[in-house]
Structures are given as C-alpha cells and as structure tokens.
Structure 1
Amino acid sequence: MSIEKDTRPAQDRRVRPAWIPLGAFFVLALLLAPIARLPASIALAGIERWGGLPETITWERAHGSVWDGGIGGLEMPAGPLGGLQWNVRPGALFHGEFHADIHWTPPGGGELQGILGLAGDRIEIAGLEGSLPAAALHQWDTGIPLVLDGHLQTSGLTLRIRRDGTVETAAGTLSWQHAAAGLPRPLPLGEQRATIRQQDQGLAIDLDAAPDAELAITGTLRLDLRTQPPGIDGRVELAPRDHADAAITRLLDNHLDRDNQGRYQWTTGSAP
C-alpha cells in the first residue's frame, strides 16, 4: 500500500505534462481560426495602412485568405513582379517562426517555387526551384545593355540573411541554359553556371561554364548586402573557344583588354 501511495504522485507528474502541449495547440487553433479565414485583401490593406509595407510596393488585386492566398499585378521600383501565391505552414508558428510555400509567376514568363521563412531579424528563402526566360530580365532595372536569350534555371537555392544584410547561409546553383547575349542580336555563349555560397558575411557567386560552351566565363563575384547600394567586388575571366562565333571576340575587343593568351579580364571593386 505504501508503495502505491508513494509512486502515484510521480506517475501523475509524468502524465500531466503530456496534456500541456495538446491544450496549448487547442487554444492556439482557436485563436488562429478567425485569422486564417481573414481575406487577404483586408489583411494587406491593414498592413499597408499601418505602414507595414513600403509605399513603393503596390499590387492590383488580392485573392484568397491570409492562410492560403495571393496577389497579382505586384510592382516594385525595380519593375513589375507579376503574381505571388502563398500557403502558410502552421507548424512553424509553434516555434515563433513564420514559414510559407511561395509560388512566383513573373510577367515575362516562367515560375519559381520555394519556402519563405521569417524568424526574428532573419529572412530565409529555401529550396528555390524553377526557371525564367533570360529575356525577362529586361523588364527590371538591371542595367544590362545586351539582348539576352536562353533560360535561367535554379536548383536548391537557399539564402538566409539578417535584416542588416549579413548573409548567414547561401547555397545552390543557377544555370543559364542555351545562353546567348549580344548587340544587335544575341550570340550563342553555351551553358553558363553559377554557385552561391556565404563568404565573410557576404554573398559569393562562383562562375563557371560547361565544357562545350562557346564562351568560358570563370571567376568569382562577391556582394556585400550590408551597404546601400550593395558593394560588389570581383574578377571575371572570359575566354572565347575555337568554335565560338567570331562576333563574340569582336564584341569583347570593343569593351575589354585581351591578354597574350586570348583571354579577357573584367574586374570591379578592389579585386586583385
């Protein structure tokens, strides 16, 4: 008898905590249910009214709910961004974070899908996959003076940045398939590739070309997102291969110096 009386409180202590997460989940579900059904248009109007979004970001229409919705006709100073859809992942809310599956459809064609995460002063894009036509870059203020062709393909692109611009994590690849660029017509360059990584709290982009590409573009660009505008530092080597269009060499001769091995160097910032 005395053994049962002594062990029962210990058993109660082991059982009682199991109900706490269940109760917290039930209460949180009751609180979130009205918010989840709130139309996205009303929520965005409230955020805009209270200054939660910059005035330079506009949109034409919103549909769905806060939980599962989207906006169309999205505009930013850099240019039109098209449509954005989201689907919130509720599990992250229990850890004080916000995660949502996003689907972006730019006006120039193509699509990108990934996961958007917000936690404290960090923003993260994870598992970004999709493709865009290279010509779509011209609708944004990129400053690229050449006519572009081909498709940009992302694979496993992940980026986590602090609000001050410090890059904590960067990984993934971006390939420019059937790449072509030039004036007045795009010239075939072959497949170009880029791998991103974190370096010294900034973003490093390593450039490389496929073995059969007409133009071998290699080098590294480094971006410092903590400054406005972002700082850029890099050294890139461009080497036309034997089967490249002769117009590529003429185009490079007009803008860059060639060394005695037929390679062209482009540097920016303080790169050695």
Structure 2
Amino acid sequence: MRQIQAGRLLVLWILGLSSTLSAASDKEFRNRYIAEVNDQTWVLNLDSRRSFASMISAKLQMGDALNRMILLGNIDEGLITGTYKPLRVSAMADEKIFTLQWIDDRSVRLTLDGANALARHGITLRADANVNPVDDALVGRWYSDVTPGIDAQNPYMGQQWSIQFQDDGSLCEDSRRVDSRQPPQDYSPCEQGSKHLWKAENGKIHVADDNGNWSLKFDYRLMGGRLVVSYPDGQRRIASRPDQRLSAQ
C-alpha cells in the first residue's frame, strides 16, 4: 500500500514539475515573430506542439523561401538555447549555436553563431499577433529637401515632403509649403498628414486602406543615413533625419 502511495506521489510530482516548466518557460513566447533585416523579412515560427515541456523547435525563414533554418533548443526561464542548421540538408550537417532571449510580451532577441554580423550580435524580432513587420532603422521622422518653384509669385516658396514611421505600425505623411530662406523646422507630419498602417517587406513599404487591404506604397533603401524611396510611377524622393538637416546649416 505504501509503495502504491509513493508511486502516486512520484507521478504527481513529475506532472507538477512538467507543468511548472511549461508555465515558467514558454508562456511568454508567442508562436510567430518577425523582423526586417538588411531589407529582408525574417520570420521565426515556434512550434507549440512538442513531446517535452522543456524543449522547443522552431523554423526561421531568412528572406526568400530557400534560406530556411530549423532550430531545436531548451527553455529555461525566458531563455531558449540550442542548435540550428539549414532545413534542407542532410542529418549530418554541422549544427551551430543559437539563443532566443525573451525581452517583453512583444519581442525577443535572436543570436545566431556563424551567421552574418547582425545575427551574431543579436536581432530583435517582434510578435506577429497584431503587429506588422517594422524596420527599426526607419522608425522616426524623415524630411525631404525643399522643392522650389511651386509659386510663380514667390520663387523662395517650395514644397517639403515629410514622413514619420512609428514602431506601433502606423505611418504619417505630409507635404507642406516651406519658405526656403527659413532655417529647417522639426515638425511632425502626424499633426496634419494622413495616417495609415504600414509594414516593411524585403525593401518595400506597404500601407493598408480603411478596409484593411494592403498595397505597395514605395520601394526604399537606406544609403549613407538617407532614405531613398521610389514610387511605382517612377517618382523618387530622398529624405534625411531632422538632426542631419539642422547640422547641415
């Protein structure tokens, strides 16, 4: 009788330990995270179906569909450590080390040994529940140079385009009349401009209309601290940060 009771207690202790590991380890992790890396969209999918509470597998797509990795690791208090290798290779392929650190309810930090310099130092990915892919390098305000010649009566009057990317996935855009003789002013295009949801995918900015339909707004590149955008109709704009414009005066 004592052996049966001891056996039951052991089973209950194991079950309790298993549920504690599951609750403490992966309750903070989401199933899907995304990031924009070097004009490519990285997607990390964590598999919630697994045999052991302390282990987890994941798949990482780095840009195009051919560049995919499989990750297998152990969870310990918000930190996943393990190994990764290309998905479409033999079972004998060399495995390399990765870590996935929980930051907050929306984001994690992924580090890949043996990968590019960015991944070796760590890349922040965000949960894809209601969050669109956001390129951190874009977040903030950008202003174009003043385009002259919009007023025949005043040759000094020009037009300036501004855009503000926000890390909550919203975007504001505005064009206003500016006196080119005046020093540059830092203002928010969100004060009067239109506002949309935005996402960055492989060097392209997409915006959503009021019905939630996505469309291409422009292609973009970051060159020497400047934002270069190219619209589908061929129009091109170059913008810089407020501090760059002010320091150039």
Tell me if TM exceeds 0.5: no
The normalised TM-score by structure 1 is: 0.29
Higher relative contact order (CA 8 A, sep 6+): 2
* TM-score, length basis structure 2: 0.30
More helix by share: 1
